[in-house]
Structure 1
Amino acid sequence: MSDLALIMALPNESKGLFEQAGVHVHYSGIGKVNAAFKAFEVIQNTGCHTVLNLGTAGSSYFDAHSLVEVTQFVQRDMDVSPLGFAVGQTPMDTDHPAEILLEPYFQHLPVGICGTGDSFETGVPKVPCNLVDMEGYAMAKVCKKLGVRFVSVKYITDGANETAHLDWEENLLLGAQKLLSLYKTV
């Protein structure tokens, strides 16, 4: 396990259960900038070869309370389309495509495409994806650039709709319990 570092966005997502179980969690904070910085910092400070991101996501595709492994990340808020770029594509970023593909780690989980953005999504994203978060793409990109494996599993708390903010808060404890059970299988 020393080769693996666990990153979650917020202590709310672990509800203290990971710490009670003796699991060290690195918390990134909300959003892509915080997530990228934390992923870089963790990789540099720990020398890990795998970053495991556990957290929450919204989805109108997957059932609430499901665990979904993300095998592709896209940016749902990168929009430079007035300059002729596809939504989700970072202009002039020739080293990395707009989509970040990941190898599945957990064979028993459904897989999904996660759209990351610096907004709490309550509608249909501009890019094709079937779940949404606010940190994953940034961590995945840092890991790709540094040659570190990235594994991400999301607990679906809400339907990414008008009641998402209420459902997210209400479902955090069950999500933390399910994510901790999964972590114990690593």
Structure 2
Amino acid sequence: MSQKIALIMALPSESKGLFEQAGIDVHYSGIGKVNAAFKAIEVIQKTGCSVLLNLGTAGSSHFDAHALVEVMQFVQRDMDVSPLGFAVGVTPMDHDYPAEIVLESYFPHLPQGVCGTGDSFETGMPKVPCNLVDMEGYALAKVCKKLGVRLVSVKYITDGANDTAHLDWEENLLLGAKKLLSLYQTVE
């Protein structure tokens, strides 16, 4: 990427200090859509980046554990106003931004997926069609679309988004950080 890039991750545990040890500036958003949106705006304004690179972890019952997956589309898996006649995942009266936010591919050698974002640690089947889940990506994508900044997002699959997901996530963070760092170093 020849444009100015800023790197955003949800938590320091996702980088395990490896990025900092390599002299890479990482912006951490914290968990959830609100924290991610706030931090994305702050980072874009502070750095003047034209590309926000999101590296992090996700669960998936579709992709193999330990895979790196480039997100090509984000959806909201916890937006549910269906009692008022709206499809799950659709934000009512938000005509400018669709329920699905599509990204351009940067890493065509990686498997590509649709990520469902929600403010819950998913351990079952999401209500919207997606093949991996996280807790920040849709918010990052929406902020980037609104501010005219390109978002590139790659997720390391830590768990199967099932009843042992919380244990698998914790156990696989170091390996994920190593794989994400290796990928990041191809960008420079």
Decide: shared fold, TM above 0.5: yes
2:31 corresponds in structure 1 to 30
Query: 1:148 Cα shift?
Result: 0.2
- 1:90 is aligned with what amino acid? T
1:89 corresponds to 2:90:
yes
Give the aligned length: 186
- 1:23 is aligned with what amino acid? I
Q: Secondary structure at the match of 1:129?
A: coil
Q: Secondary structure at the match of 2:57?
A: strand
Q: Secondary structure at the match of 1:185?
A: helix
Query: 1:107 Cα shift?
Result: 1.3
- 2:184 is aligned with what amino acid? Y
2:81 corresponds in structure 1 to 80
Work out the CA distance in 2 between the residues paired with 1:141 and 1:43. 13
Identity of aligned residues (%): 84
1:118 corresponds in structure 2 to 119
Q: What does 1:136-151 align with in structure 2 at a 5 Å threshold?
A: 136-151=137-152
Work out the CA distance in 2 between the residues paired with 1:26 and 1:17. 14
Query: 1:20 Cα shift?
Result: 0.2
Work out the CA distance in 1 between the residues paired with 2:50 and 2:100. 21
- 1:149 is aligned with what amino acid? R
Query: 1:89 Cα shift?
Result: 0.2
* Residues 3 and 51, structure 2, Cα contact 8 Å, conserved in 1: no
Work out the CA distance in 2 between the residues paired with 1:76 and 1:130. 11
Query: 1:2 Cα shift?
Result: 7.2
Q: What does 1:28-107 align with in structure 2 at a 5 Å threshold?
A: 28-107=29-108
Please list every run of 5 or more consecutive structure 2 residues that lacks an aligned counterpart in the other structure.
none
Q: Secondary structure at the match of 1:184?
A: helix
- 1:84 is aligned with what amino acid? G
Work out the CA distance in 1 between the residues paired with 2:24 and 2:77. 31
Residue deviations 1:38-64 (CA, integer Å, cap 9, x gap): 000000111100000000000000000
Work out the CA distance in 2 between the residues paired with 1:145 and 1:71. 17
Work out the CA distance in 1 between the residues paired with 2:62 and 2:108. 20
Work out the CA distance in 1 between the residues paired with 2:46 and 2:39. 10
Work out the CA distance in 1 between the residues paired with 2:172 and 2:96. 38
* Residues 3 and 50, structure 2, Cα contact 8 Å, conserved in 1: no
* Residues 69 and 155, structure 2, Cα contact 8 Å, conserved in 1: yes
Work out the CA distance in 1 between the residues paired with 2:27 and 2:59. 22
Over the residues paired in the alignment, what is the CA RMSD in angstroms?
0.8
TM-score normalized with structure 1 length: 0.99
Moved over 6 A (4+): none
- 2:92 is aligned with what amino acid? P
